[in-house]
Structure 1
């Protein structure tokens, strides 16, 4: 897969800030994307390359903290760096508790911001890798037949083959066959692996 250039989004209603940040981001080798408002940013599709968001706290329509609340669940691959002209401590604490990478008060040095972007992009890369892994895991689980899914759900609770057989009203040999298929299709090296996968898929019997 070709290494795609990370995107650094900037949401700030001050055009001079946007212009200076655009130059700085571009000079560091990343792709800048500028937005004058939170609404404009929300209208943009999710980016599936490492990315982060430099976000002004005080925006005209939807403020930065509100935007953070909206995207922190849906866009875990987009860590946020807050910038503000006049930050106060409670606001900083609130933003950091909600997962912001950094909270910078203007004026700040270029190096400080570039360091924060570096950190945010590392976090984004990790989040995208986890998401890709989960997609693959869900994909493998979807290849199981309904019966194999039932067997898997019971096996990961620690039941023996004969107990699973009793539970499902099938023979132990059939359970063994299904269990073998489950291990193969899920690419599980051991029962512990399978239990771990089921936990990540939040499979409940």
Structure 2
């Protein structure tokens, strides 16, 4: 199933992706932090600077498009360890690694773990800005998908237990008369439940409803 197409039919949540993107920087070198702060601000993004991995971990998760510019060599928790620590908690935040020297094994490890770029200092400002722009596009798309799924879950939660039963059977392809027989209710009642399900889920068609159910991973009876 195409996740983006399926989410296109989901109820639309309040947008959080129009806010000013945040670019987190974790580097123990104050001169690097100051330089990146100016560059990021010039590009009209909002910089958030940290001198250690631990300081970053104590910061709340961002609810707007964001990315992390991360030095791979840090005094406490190194960049790869930080990448691993936030992989599950902040999957919508792409990571751009920066390092003072080229290291092929580290580069391979970082990229395999999901980093979007690996730059060696000194890097060209334009190269970094483009990497950040691409990373923020990835973050924005991830947040949209997450918001769409949250909206679907909230809509599903408004269904009564019987409506949830009917939904599961409808998306399994069962006819109204079969559903009525299985549930011990009239066919007219099944039609009424189907109508309420369509309205509450804001589904425009049965195909929309099937896509939504797939995203929600409903257990079909």
| TM bin (shorter chain) | over 0.9
| Aligned equivalents of 1:89, 1:17: Cα separation in 2 | 22
1:193 deviates by 0.8
Aligned to 2:190: 175
Q: What secondary structure sits across from 1:70 in the alignment?
A: helix
Q: What secondary structure sits across from 2:218 in the alignment?
A: coil
1:143 deviates by 1.2
Give aligned pairs, total.
205
| Aligned equivalents of 2:207, 2:107: Cα separation in 1 | 42
| Aligned equivalents of 1:39, 1:55: Cα separation in 2 | 13
Write the mapping of 1:3-152 to structure 2, written as runs, cut at 5 A. 3-152=18-167
TM-score when scaled to structure 2?
A: 0.88
CA RMSD of aligned residues (A): 1.5
Matched, 1:160 2:175: yes
TM-score when scaled to structure 1?
A: 0.94
Which structure ranks higher in relative contact order (CA pairs < 8 Å, sequence separation ≥ 6)? 2
1:153 deviates by 1.2
| Aligned equivalents of 1:104, 1:92: Cα separation in 2 | 9
Residues 166 and 90 (structure 1), Cα distance of their counterparts in 2 relative to 1, 3 Å cut = farther
Matched, 1:185 2:200: yes
Matched, 1:198 2:210: no
| Aligned equivalents of 1:98, 1:169: Cα separation in 2 | 52
Structure 1 gap ranges (5+):
none
Q: What secondary structure sits across from 2:87 in the alignment?
A: helix
Structure 2 gap ranges (5+):
1-14
1:148 deviates by 0.5
